[in-house]
Amino acid sequence: MGSPLYSSQIKHCPVCRIALTTSVWLGIEIDLCTQCQGLWLGCGELEEIELRIETRRRWGLQLDCRLGPP
Ligand SMILES: [Zn+2]
C-alpha cells in the first residue's frame, strides 16, 4: 500500500474516487457520494444510526467498514 492519497478531513468514494459530500443526518455526520448515491459511514456512525433505523438495508447503504481487499 502506498501513502495516503487524501487528507483525513475529506473522504473520497472508494468506487468513484470523487470527493464525498459531508452532511449531517439524524445528528450524525455522514458522507454521501453524489455519483453512485453511496452513503459512506464509519463503523461507529453505523452503530449510531442502527439505533434509529431498522430498515437500513432498503437504503442500499454501503459501509466502508465492510470493505476489504478485492
Ligand atoms: Zn461513488
DSSP bridge partners of 62: 40
Cell of 43: 463503523
CA of 38 to the centre of ligand 1 (A): 6
CA of 32 to the centre of ligand 1 (A): 8
How far CA 45 is from CA of 7, 13, 18, 28, 62, in Å, comes to: 19, 17, 21, 7, 12
CA of 37 to the centre of ligand 1 (A): 6
Cell of 25: 443526518
CA of 21 to the centre of ligand 1 (A): 10
Q: Given this model, what pLDDT does residue 2 score?
A: 46
CA of 42 to the centre of ligand 1 (A): 16
pLDDT tens string 14-65 = 899 999 998 887 777 888 999 998 888 877 787 777 777 665 555 555 555 5
